[in-house]
Amino acid sequence: MPSSGPSAAPRRWQRLGSRPVLTTRIFTVDSVDFQHPEQPVPRDFFVINPPDWVNVVALTPERELLLVRQFRFGINDFSLEIPGGVIDPGEDPVAAGLRELREETGGAGVRARLLGHVHPNPAMQSNRCHLVLVEEVRRSQALDWDRDEEFEILTLPVDEVYRLAYSGGITHAMVLDALLLFFPLWEKMKGG
């Protein structure tokens, strides 16, 4: 059991009404009122609402990972990542991962399953990013890039991908999360 410090347990704020303040193609922003149980008046906080996302650890039969390098508008620079993207409304996260893998790289595989999910930014963003593992991935399908997408597709031995991650060659937060959640499985695969 965790050993608690002298601090008090944090209280749950009650979420009251919200007002939309911005709508874009890829996210909305709301101003949301929250009420602390021991404070007299509510306070408002801005919350960014993108759809849920998915990123895919795509393991090849040669025990390499499929990587994509692309230009990213948020950082105005290139980024080395695993395949991923936006989950469509009502779409299953594993199905979405398989779809993104196929569209971005032409890859398909077996034993697709969830590694877990993360919150990209619990403080000010509501969505989740699901992390999916697919094994025996082969690139046999046609590419189907969205408008404004352009990828360099690479494969690298898994341990080399971890070395890149540890040394700053991969900086995408959710891609690194996928590598963290894949790690115990990969240790077992290597040993087995």
Q: If binding is defined by CB under 8 A, does position 124 make contact with a second copy?
A: yes
71 binds a second copy (CB under 8 A): yes
Question: Contact, 149 vs 96, CB < 8 A?
Answer: no
Residue with tokens 């690479």: 154
Residue 189 within binding range of a second copy, rule CB under 8 A: no
**Which pair of structure tokens corresponds to residue 33?**
């009122």
Residues 28-57 that bind a second copy (CB under 8 A): 29, 32, 34, 36, 43, 45-48, 50
Decide whether 53 or 99 has the Cβ nearer to a second copy: 53
Euclidean distance between CA atoms 50 and 93, whole angstroms: 15
- State which of residues 54, 56, 58, 117 lies at the interface with a second copy (CB under 8 A): 117
Q: Given candidates 16, 136, 184, 189, which one binds a second copy under the rule CB under 8 A?
A: 184
Q: What 3-state DSSP class applies to 131?
A: strand
What's the maximum distance between 2 C-alpha atoms anywhere in the chain? 61
Q: How far are the Cα atoms of 60, 75, 105 from residue 22, in angstroms, in the given order?
A: 41, 21, 33
| Closest by Cα among 33, 23, 141, 37 to 83 | 141
Query: Is 115 within 8 Å of 135 (Cβ atoms)?
Result: no
Shorter beta-carbon distance to a second copy: residue 112 or 170: 170
Of the candidate residues 108, 120, 144, 158, the single one contacting a second copy (CB under 8 A): 120
Q: How far is the CB of 118 from a second copy (least distance, A)?
A: 5
Task: Report how far residue 88's alpha carbon sits from residue 26's, in angstroms, rounded to the nearest whole number.
Answer: 12
Examine residue 69 and tell whether it contacts a second copy (CB under 8 A). yes
168 binds a second copy (CB under 8 A): yes
Establish if 20 lies at the interface with a second copy (CB under 8 A).
no
| 190 belongs to the binding site for a second copy (CB under 8 A) | no
- The residue whose two tokens read 């998915």 is 54
Q: Binding residue for a second copy (CB under 8 A) from 11, 19, 113, 190? A: 11
Whose Cβ is closer to a second copy: residue 81's or residue 133's?
Answer: 81
